[in-house]
C-alpha cells in the first residue's frame, strides 16, 4: 500500500498523442467554411494522467510509444519539461499518434484517431524493472482496444498484482468499449483497485444506473460527471465533489 510519508510513485500506461481541436460556435457546414478556432496540444489520456500526477507532486513514469518524427521529438521534450520519466525510445519511422477533436457548439466532442500500428505494445516490451518500487499502475482503455497489445497488458497486470501495486483503470471511450465487448473487458482487467469512468461508460459496465454493481470487480468507482463534478463509491460509502471552474 502507498505510504503517506513519501511522494507516491506511479506509472501511467497507454496512449500518447497530439490533439488537434476544431471548434466553431455555429457548427460545421460540409463543403464550405465557417469561422472558429483551431488549436493543438499535447494529449493522450495516459500522457495527461502522468503530467498531472507529476504537477501534483508524484514521481511519474509514462509507458507509451511515440515515433521519431517531429511530433515525437516535441513530446519527449514536453515530458522532460514536466519531469515525467519516459523510458522507451522513439520508434524509427513511426508516426506519433494524432487525434482530431471536433467540438460541437454545445461543447461536446467527437474524436478521429490516427494511430500508427507500429506504436502497439508486444510482450517483448515487458520489463519487470519498470515497475519496481511503484505504488500505482494507471492504464487506459486505448491499450486494451488495440488487441495487438492485450498479451502485453496481461503480463503487466499479472506482475503488478504479484508485487502488490495498486491498479487504476479508465476505459476512456464508451463506443470502443462497446465494440470490444464490455463483459470481455471486465474479465480482462479485473480485479481493480480503482475504476474511473464517465456516466455513459458506467451505465454500460453496471448494466443500468445501479453503479454499485461495479464494486464486485473493483474496490472503488470514481464517476466523472463533467460540470457536475465527480462521485466516488466504495465499501457502502459515497462521496460527491463539485467540479472546479474552468
Give pTM, 2 decimals: 0.86
Q: Collapse the DSSP code of 57 into the 3-class scheme (helix H, G, I; strand E, B; otherwise coil) and give the result.
A: coil
**For the chain, how far is it from start to end, CA to CA, in angstroms?**
33
SS3 105: coil
- Residue 206 CB coordination number (10 Å): 19
Q: Is 172 buried (19+), middle (13-18) or exposed (0-12) by CB count in 10 A?
A: buried
- Whole-angstrom distance, CA of residue 133 vs CA of residue 137: 11
| Full pLDDT tens readout for the chain, 246 residues | 444 568 999 999 988 999 999 998 888 888 999 899 999 999 988 999 999 999 999 999 999 999 999 999 999 999 999 999 999 999 999 999 999 999 888 888 888 989 998 998 888 889 999 998 999 999 988 777 666 788 888 999 999 999 999 999 998 777 777 777 778 888 888 899 999 999 988 988 888 888 999 999 999 999 998 889 999 999 989 999 998 887
Beta bridge partners of 11: 61, 137
**In the CATH scheme, what is the code of domain 9-189?**
3.40.1190.20
Task: List Cα–Cα distances, 52 to 126, 180, 190, 199, in angstroms.
Answer: 25, 28, 25, 22
Residue 194, strand partner residues: 168, 220
CB 178 within 8 A of CB 85: no
| Secondary structure of 221-235 in HEC code, one letter for each residue | EEEECHHHCEEEEEC
Amino acid at each position: 500500500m502507498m505510504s503517506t510519508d513519501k511522494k507516491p510513485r506511479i506509472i501511467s500506461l497507454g496512449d500518447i498523442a497530439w490533439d488537434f481541436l476544431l471548434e466553431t460556435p455555429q457548427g460545421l457546414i460540409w463543403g464550405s467554411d465557417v469561422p472558429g478556432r483551431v488549436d493543438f496540444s499535447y494529449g493522450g489520456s495516459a500522457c495527461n494522467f502522468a503530467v498531472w500526477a507529476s504537477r501534483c507532486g508524484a514521481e511519474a513514469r509514462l509507458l507509451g510509444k511515440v515515433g521519431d518524427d517531429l511530433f515525437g521529438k516535441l513530446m519527449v521534450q514536453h515530458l522532460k519539461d514536466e519531469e515525467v520519466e519516459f523510458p522507451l525510445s522513439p520508434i524509427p519511422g513511426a508516426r506519433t499518434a494524432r487525434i482530431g477533436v471536433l467540438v460541437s457548439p454545445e461543447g461536446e466532442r467527437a474524436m478521429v484517431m490516427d494511430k500508427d500500428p507500429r506504436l502497439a505494445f508486444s510482450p517483448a516490451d515487458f520489463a519487470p524493472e519498470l515497475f519496481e518500487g511503484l505504488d500505482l499502475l494507471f492504464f487506459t482503455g486505448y491499450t486494451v482496444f488495440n488487441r495487438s497489445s492485450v498479451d502485453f497488458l496481461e503480463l503487466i497486470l499479472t506482475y503488478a498484482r504479484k508485487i502488490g501495486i495498486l491498479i487504476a483503470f479508465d476505459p476512456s471511450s464508451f463506443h470502443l468499449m462497446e465494440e470490444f465487448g464490455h463483459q470481455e473487458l471486465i474479465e480482462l482487467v479485473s480485479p481493480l483497485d480503482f475504476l474511473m469512468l464517465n456516466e455513459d461508460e458506467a451505465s454500460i459496465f453496471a448494466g443500468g444506473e445501479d453503479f454499485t454493481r461495479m464494486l464486485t470487480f473493483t474496490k472503488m468507482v470514481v464517476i466523472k460527471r463533467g460540470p457536475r463534478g465527480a462521485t466516488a463509491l466504495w465499501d457502502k460509502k459515497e462521496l460527491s465533489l463539485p467540479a472546479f471552474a474552468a
